[in-house]
Chain A
Amino acid sequence: MTQPTNPQPTNPQPTTTPPSRARLSSRSDRAFELVILALSSIIVLVFVLSLYLLGKESWPALQRFGLEFFTQRTWNPVNSQFGAAAMIAGTLVTSLVALIISVPLAIASALFVAEYAPKWLANPVGYLIELLAAVPSVVYGLWALFVVAPILGRWQTSFFVNPENLQLLTRCQDLWNNNQTTLQCFFVPPSASGRGLALAIVILTVMILPYTASVARDVIRLVPQDQREAMYALGATKWEVISRAILPYARAGIMGGVILALGRALGETLAVAMVIGDSQDILKSIWGNASTMASVIANQFGDAQETLHRSSVVTLGFALFFLSVLVNFVARLVIARLTPQGIK
């Protein structure tokens, strides 16, 4: 995260060489600085190229559909009709619900590592949580597909496929065929495969947990010891110390971790693409098939032969690009605004 002020105000090496050293080294220093600057400029180049290439490729779709691309619900390659509302809804719903489930778990595990566990236990548990972030997306997808989906499928069968529920199922089926749903039908599975929106949310929850957890742990450790001791001296219990002295102090940092996790969730691709069922209809059931922007790119870009289809898929990527830049920007803003001195 950025620091608002120069961390080393008394830096003894000014970028403009002082007169005394100018004779000796100004030329070689200048050359080195140029090389470093040129290599660093590749970062700028990558950003500009991304913007240009994504913009160029999505132009045909944006030209054809305009901003309605983002509000239309039909995504039909056969009729060359492309609207991204269903995928945008899928992306937002999966990410936000996963965030809501994962944040309390992440904060709790951070508290355990930083406040509860003895040192011999805290380090290994901290490692394990960080390894959770190192598991590749495809491996999460594989596990979800082979292990979690069958379990969810069995639950769906046992909860919803009995005689009195079958009536409900057929009623919901009629509603879905007309592209509608009711609140009741929203919780009825269209089929007992286990795959769909709910599984995608579960797997996303697990995937983004470590990002919030490790940031939260770091900021909780930075809470000054005096804060804790003062509360204990007043006779507070451990939970009272945590809830009134530690969490309020660390909230800005934790918020930064939450937004970081949101950014991850929005762009998470393969694990979601493997389990969400790839349906371009707007959400009809929590157990039903859906899609996210990233999953549509993964599933359709390779097959998209027609220019408009391909361009529409890239437009989703372009939107995702802007979304991630925006989330990043907000995260930096939040941290800069709320951070007390001394906590990054």
Chain B
Amino acid sequence: MTRADAAPGGNKVLLSPARRIKNLLMGGLILLATLLVVAPLILIFAYLLREGVGALNADFFTKTPAPEGETGGGLLNAITGSLTMLGMASVIGVVVGVAGGIFLAEYPRHPLMPTIRMLSDVLAGIPAIVMGLVAYGLIVLTFGFSGLAGALALGFLMIPIVVRTTEEVLKLVPHTVREAGMALGLPQWLVILKIVLPAAAGGIVTGVMLALARVAGEAAPLLFTAFGNPNVNLNPLEPMSALPLEIYRGATSAYDENQRMAKAGALLLISLIFVTSLLARRFSRR
């Protein structure tokens, strides 16, 4: 962006001291406020690095939590649980989200379009814990606590994010490209699948990664769906642990060892999320 600092030295003579002081004061306040805004992030990251990096050893990645009050152990159960649930959640999030994005971008005159756009916006605003209650009513009441219920809650949370980004990148694909496809005699669905979607693939991947980064840290909807599990479990119909769940349990636990695990888990989780967000942004910049 070009800057229009068109107040060169000559003008300053005309400025009354009150105006000049006010200008400097507000500039200083804005700088101060920005430092205040950024400070927590740096403080949190530094704290987790200092406290958690020591616990990120081989045991952390290969063992399950030690019994209460004992030392040692790791968070293998949480890592596998998080990966399994995120994998299942992204199936729901990607299929429904991308389809919804295609619908909103490519069929703007369909009578159902305003409804789906509005409901997708509404879903985006629903608190994660309420989604947990929904997944509880949907699955847990009949089948019991399970990784599947947790994945469903996370998948529902992913849908609106993927819909929004897919719709926006599809609209960025120039119309001439579509027209060229049409001119070749391709039916509309082939134009969408073979020309528009590949052109927008980068943006869609970004959206999916951002959605994953967002739900990977959610613990609230997992409290009473996936529930947590001290052992490694890959069966989606059984209770499953997840990194944010173990962080929550550890942080609110009275045992030092659990707190130490929570800090290491938080460091791992926050690093993964930061890397994913930064990669996603890099990806979309290209």
Residues on A close to B: CB < 8 A?
Answer: 2, 6-8, 11-15, 17, 21, 24-25, 28-29, 31-33, 35-37, 39-44, 46-47, 49-50, 53-54, 56-57, 104-106, 108-109, 111-113, 116, 125, 127-132, 134-143, 145-147, 206, 209, 213, 221, 225, 228-229, 232-233, 235-240, 242-243, 263, 266-270, 274, 294, 297-298, 301-302, 314, 317, 320-321, 324-325, 327-328, 332
Contact = CB atoms under 8 A, between A and B. Distances in A.
B150 to A, nearest CB: 14
Interface in B146-194: 156, 159-160, 163, 171, 175, 178-179, 182, 185-193
Given A39-B99, A43-B159, A134-B214, A270 B220 contact: yes
A266 B22 CA distance: 36
A131 B41 contact: yes
B96 interface: yes
Contacts of B106: 13, 36
A40 B125 contact: no
Nearest to A105: B33
B61 interface: no
Contact of A105 (B37, B108, B220, B244): B37
B57 interface: no
Given A36-B99, A44-B119, A239 B224 contact: no
B67 interface: no
Interface in B240-286: 244, 247-248, 251-252, 259, 262-263, 266, 269-270, 273-274, 277-278, 281
Given A43-B96, A128-B41, A267 B33 contact: no
Contacts of B29: 108
Interface stretch (B68-76, B110-118, B200-208, B231-239): B110-118
B247 A104 contact: no
A15 B107 CA distance: 6
A267 B152 CA distance: 19
Interface size class of B (residues with CB under 8 A): 35 or more
Contact of A108 (B34, B102, B185): B34
A239 to B, nearest CB: 4
Interface in B1-50: 1-2, 4-7, 11, 14-15, 19-20, 22-23, 26-27, 29-31, 33-34, 36-38, 40-44, 47-48
A147 B116 contact: no
Contacts of B127: 266-269, 294, 320-321, 324
Contact of A328 (B4, B109, B121): B121
Contacts of A36: 99, 102-103, 106-107
Given A42-B96, A54-B133, A225-B4, A104 B251 contact: no
Interface SS of chain B: helix
Given A12-B179, A43-B123, A136-B219, A112 B251 contact: no
B144 interface: no
A44 B116 contact: yes
B76 to A, nearest CB: 19
A238 B7 contact: yes
Contacts of B26: 239, 242-243
Contact of B108 (A8, A21, A53, A238): A8
B189 A239 contact: no
A328 B218 contact: no
Given A12-B179, A235-B7, A239-B27, A54 B121 contact: no
Given A6-B108, A129-B37, A143-B40, 13 more contacts: A28-B187, A43-B119, A43-B120, A43-B159, A43-B163, A46-B156, A57-B133, A108-B37, A135-B41, A136-B273, A139-B217, A236-B7, A239-B26
